[in-house]
């Protein structure tokens, strides 16, 4: 009888002991990593009041405060929850024998997020001339009820599909939803973070705005700029259209009228891409603007009603022509005699002289944007078009000349600006 009691003690006690040890080991590991984050990035001012962990893949932080770059005061949140696979299951597929990689599914939940107050400058939240009206929308998240945010992804290796979602809510006042679906995501590419072979199968972006809140902010910004509300609404619509033109697209009258109606009435705005045949994102810039709606299956809906018509027609200069210009200028550059033994390196040049170096390799640095390095294709309309190579292809990126703080061109030693 005594032997049986000891046997049951071992059968029940050993797993319990191992489970408790693993739980607290995981807890203190997470706590140590959070302490390292706080010490390595003191500017963030990261701190929290409570921590709970579970071997089922859950980490819960309570009373979180941090100060992201660009914010004058910290952002506070009641709860931050991370959810992934159970720790034993994750270690089964991520260990020194089989290699390491991201979990196959992961979610982030933020609750009770309170943003710092906006700038005391009445015009601070209304400066939308320099780009899309993102700053204008950001101001909406600083007012009213605390915000909730959810983000997640899920990878399935059998069909090689990766799906991701992001959503924000602030009561019933305003909301934002984003979802994307990629196919042909190989397990090796997913584990290494290289998605060059992936194909876009679907994308959806939705914005919901309480009309009363939208009109209130329009009146605030119109007063700050001493404009009529209708004039400021037209300014928002025109800036959104200019953003489309910056990527080589030209909106037709139907889309322009739809955007003007949305910025006047507010409500729900949804843009969905559902390509009939999944396609590589790297080749999107090379699709003629007139074929974008058909190739991508673009649909625009306002308050649930689809906006009819051809959203995009023509565009500015087709990228195929830009490629032809690149070939011409590159051939011209290579045909110039260069003395034997010349050393090539990046040399600083004046921004005003960039148009002399079409077809050259350049490095451009603009305020608030990552450095751009690639082939200079075109300089026109206040922008430099740079073809930058990424994993799986190339993209043509517009860089505003007024925002440039540095420009370098790959030249032989003897060439000077």
CATH of the domain at 408: 2.30.30.100
pLDDT band, residue 133 (cuts 50/70/90): very low
* Same domain, yes or no: 229 and 351: no
Residue 334 has a pLDDT of 46
Cα gap 96→402, rounded to integer Å: 50
- 11 SS3 class: helix
Residue 411 has a pLDDT of 84
Number of domains the chain is built from: 3
More confident residue, 2 or 123: 2
* Same domain, yes or no: 133 and 260: yes
Cα gap 207→132, rounded to integer Å: 14
Q: Encode pLDDT of 73-123 as tens digits.
A: 888 899 999 998 887 777 776 667 766 778 888 999 999 888 776 544 444
Residue 99 maps to a domain: no
By residue range, what is the domain housing residue 48? 18-88+106-111
* Same domain, yes or no: 398 and 376: yes
Read off the tokens for 319.
Answer: 């990228």
**Residues constituting the chain:** 417
Low-confidence winner among 145-154, 184-193, 319-328, 385-394 (lowest mean pLDDT):
319-328
Angle among Cα 396, 260, 249 to the nearest 5 degrees reads: 20
Mean pLDDT calculated for residue range 315-335 = 48
* Same domain, yes or no: 326 and 310: no
139 Cβ contact partners less than 8 Å away, ≥ 6 residues apart: 118, 125, 126, 217
CA-based nearest residue to 150, from 82, 204, 73, 211: 82
Residue 79 has a pLDDT of 93
* Same domain, yes or no: 207 and 73: no
Mean pLDDT calculated for residue range 258-263 = 82
Burial class from Cβ neighbours inside 10 Å (0-12, 13-18, 19+) for residue 10 reads exposed
- 162 SS3 class: strand
| Domain boundary residue, one of 283, 315, 347 | 315
* Same domain, yes or no: 278 and 213: yes
pLDDT band, residue 181 (cuts 50/70/90): very high
Chain Cα centroid distance, residue 213: 26
Low-confidence winner among 92-96, 229-233, 298-302 (lowest mean pLDDT):
92-96
Cα gap 189→341, rounded to integer Å: 41
* Same domain, yes or no: 216 and 352: no
Residue 9 maps to a domain: no
pLDDT beyond 60 at 319: no
What is the maximum span of the chain, computed from C-alpha positions, in angstroms?
98
* Same domain, yes or no: 408 and 335: yes
- Distance (Å) of CA 56 to CA 16, 23, 79, 82, 393: 15, 10, 18, 11, 39
Read off the tokens for 344.
Answer: 């090539």
pLDDT band, residue 158 (cuts 50/70/90): confident
| Domain boundary residue, one of 96, 111, 126 | 111
Mean pLDDT calculated for residue range 124-131 = 52
Residue 381 has a pLDDT of 78
Structural contact between residues 149 and 110, judged by C-beta atoms closer than 8 angstroms: yes
Q: Encode pLDDT of 33-82 as tens digits.
A: 888 888 887 878 888 999 998 888 899 999 999 887 767 788 889 999 99
Low-confidence winner among 24-33, 122-131, 269-278, 342-351 (lowest mean pLDDT):
122-131
Residue 13 maps to a domain: no
Please count the CA atoms within 13 angstroms of the CA of 188 that sit on its side-chain side. Answer: 2
* Same domain, yes or no: 303 and 259: yes
Chain Cα centroid distance, residue 292: 21
- Distance (Å) of CA 161 to CA 80, 197, 199: 27, 12, 9
Residue 222 has a pLDDT of 78
* Same domain, yes or no: 268 and 307: yes
Residue 331 has a pLDDT of 47
Phi and psi at 359, nearest 5°, equal 90, -5
- 109 SS3 class: strand
Q: What is the mean pLDDT of the chain?
A: 76
Residue 95 maps to a domain: no
First to last CA, the chain: 95
Residue 107 has a pLDDT of 94
Read off the tokens for 141.
Answer: 């998240």
* Same domain, yes or no: 333 and 299: no
Residue 261 has a pLDDT of 83
Mean pLDDT calculated for residue range 148-165 = 91
CA-based nearest residue to 34, from 19, 49, 18, 21: 49
* Same domain, yes or no: 258 and 176: yes
Residue 378 has a pLDDT of 85
Residue 93 maps to a domain: no
Q: Encode pLDDT of 352-408 as tens digits.
A: 889 888 888 899 988 877 788 888 888 887 888 888 775 545 667 778 888 898 999
Cα gap 255→329, rounded to integer Å: 36
pLDDT beyond 60 at 328: no
Cα gap 367→242, rounded to integer Å: 20
| Domain boundary residue, one of 291, 315, 339 | 315
Structural contact between residues 105 and 85, judged by C-beta atoms closer than 8 angstroms: yes
Residue 96 maps to a domain: no
Chain Cα centroid distance, residue 349: 31
Q: Encode pLDDT of 3-42 as tens digits.
A: 555 666 556 666 666 666 776 777 888 888 888 888 887 8
pLDDT band, residue 137 (cuts 50/70/90): low
pLDDT beyond 70 at 348: yes
Residue 250 has a pLDDT of 56
Burial class from Cβ neighbours inside 10 Å (0-12, 13-18, 19+) for residue 342 reads exposed
pLDDT band, residue 315 (cuts 50/70/90): very low
206 Cβ contact partners less than 8 Å away, ≥ 6 residues apart: 175, 176, 177, 178, 268, 269, 270, 271
Mean pLDDT calculated for residue range 141-163 = 82
């Amino acid at each position: 009888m005594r032997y049986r009691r000891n046997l049951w003690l071992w059968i029940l006690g050993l797993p319990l002991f191992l489970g408790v040890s693993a739980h607290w080991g995981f807890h203190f590991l997470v706590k140590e990593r959070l302490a390292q984050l706080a010490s390595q990035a003191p500017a963030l001012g990261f701190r929290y009041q409570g921590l709970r962990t579970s071997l089922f893949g859950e980490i819960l932080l309570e009373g979180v405060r941090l100060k992201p770059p660009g914010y004058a005061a910290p952002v506070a949140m009641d709860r931050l929850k991370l959810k992934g696979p159970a720790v034993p299951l994750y270690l089964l597929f991520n260990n020194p024998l089989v290699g390491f990689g991201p979990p196959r599914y992961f979610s982030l939940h933020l609750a009770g997020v309170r943003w710092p107050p906006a700038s005391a400058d009445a015009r601070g939240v209304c400066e939308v001339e320099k780009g899309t009206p993102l700053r204008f929308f950001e101001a909406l998240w600083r007012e009213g009820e605390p915000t909730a945010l959810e983000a997640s992804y899920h990878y399935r290796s059998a069909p090689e599909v990766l799906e991701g979602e992001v959503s924000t809510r602030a009561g019933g006042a305003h909301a934002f939803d984003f979802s994307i679906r990629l196919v042909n995501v190989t397990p090796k590419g997913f584990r290494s973070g290289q998605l060059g072979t992936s194909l876009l199968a679907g994308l959806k972006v939705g914005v919901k705005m309480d009309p009363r809140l939208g009109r209130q902010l329009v009146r605030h910004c119109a007063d700050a700029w001493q404009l009529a509300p209708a004039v400021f609404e037209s300014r928002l619509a025109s800036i959104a259209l200019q953003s489309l033109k910056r990527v080589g697209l030209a909106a037709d009258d139907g889309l322009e009228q739809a955007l003007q109606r949305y910025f006047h009435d507010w409500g729900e705005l949804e843009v969905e891409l559902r390509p009939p045949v999944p396609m590589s994102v790297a080749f999107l810039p090379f699709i003629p603007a007139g074929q974008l709606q058909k190739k991508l299956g673009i649909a625009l809906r306002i308050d649930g009603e689809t906006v009819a018509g051809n959203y995009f027609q023509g565009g500015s200069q087709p990228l195929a022509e830009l490629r032809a210009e690149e070939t011409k200028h590159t051939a011209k550059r290579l045909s110039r005699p260069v003395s034997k033994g010349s050393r090539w390196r990046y040399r600083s040049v004046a921004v005003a002289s960039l148009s002399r170096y079409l077809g050259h390799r350049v490095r451009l640095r603009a305020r608030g944007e990552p450095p751009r390095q690639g082939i200079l294709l075109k300089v026109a309309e206040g922008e430099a078009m740079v073809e930058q190579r990424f994993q799986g292809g190339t993209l043509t990126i517009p860089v505003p000349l007024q925002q440039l703080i540095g420009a370098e061109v790959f030249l032989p030693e003897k060439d000077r600006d």
